[in-house]
Homo-oligomer: A and B are copies of this chain.
């Protein structure tokens, strides 16, 4: 329902790759995408409830001795559609939480290289424009002309922006190269 509920789609994406319980999903997220995306029980379990109530997932209960029964969730066709819709939407850069681009790339493996190339090209464009703005500011906020300490700290912040934007641009280039190579391989010998 909501536009940008990242955790909603993260859970749905994990289910898209295979059925599992809340516990399984937590482990999968930690293991697969844990380094750029975190999730807590307080999000997973309510999300699974919503998923089931909307018909995006079905539940199977597995009896478990001594432990609570495992509630194993499977994605439905509707769920898949909803998930694909999200995958194909452009990345929301206002979303302050986790790295939506990496999340979409991760889940987009099966969605084909083309779409991911677009996501990367978009990202590169955004970072290039960002870098352009920083460079413009740098032309008058120069370290050589900086006098006050405040100016120096502002310059350091600017440098951060420039450095990170450049790193993003470089990464996009590399990633696109890799995807291009992969497409070539897939086309020629698979």
In the bound complex, residues from chain B placing their C-beta under 8 Å from that of A178 are: 143, 152, 155-156, 159
Report the nearest B residue to A152, measured CB to CB. Answer: B182
Min CB–CB distance A138 → chain B (angstroms):
12
Q: A159 near B174 (CB under 8 angstroms)?
A: yes
Mark each residue of chain A from 108 to 125: 1 if its CB lies under 8 Å from any CB of chain B, else 0: 111000001000000000
Asked if B161 and A35 sit within 8 Å, CB to CB, the answer is: yes
A171 touching B153 by the CB < 8 A rule? no
Q: Most chain-B Cβ atoms within 10 A of its Cβ — which of A32, A33, A98, A171?
A: A171
How many of chain A's residues have a CB under 8 angstroms from any CB in B?
A: 40
Distance in angstroms from A36 CB to nearest chain B CB is 7
Q: Closest residue of chain B to A112, judged by CB?
A: B149
Contacts of A96 in B (CB 8 A): 38, 96-98
Q: Do the beta carbons of A105 and B156 come within 8 Å of each other? A: yes
For residue A188, give the distance in angstroms from its CB to the closest CB of chain B. 15
CB distance from A186 to the nearest CB of B (A): 8
Interface positions, chain A 101-143, Cβ under 8 Å from B, are 102, 105-106, 108-110, 116, 134, 143
A41 near B: Cβ within 8 Å?
no
Give the shortest distance, in Å, between A112 (CB) and chain B (any CB): 9
B residues less than 8 Å from A182 (CB atoms): 149, 152
Listed from nearest, the 10 A-B pairs whose CB atoms lie closest are: A167-B167, A163-B171, A109-B153, A156-B175, A109-B149, A109-B150, A163-B167, A102-B157, A160-B171, A164-B167
In the assembled complex, how far is the CB of residue A63 from the closest CB belonging to chain B, in whole angstroms?
A: 32
- Give the residues from 159 to 190 in chain A that come closer than 8 angstroms, CB to CB, to chain B: 159-161, 163-164, 166-168, 170-171, 174-175, 178-179, 182
User: For A35, what are the chain B residues with a Cβ–Cβ distance below 8 Å?
Assistant: 134, 157, 161
Checking B97, B154, B159 against A106 with a beta-carbon cut-off of 8 angstroms, the contacting residue is: B154
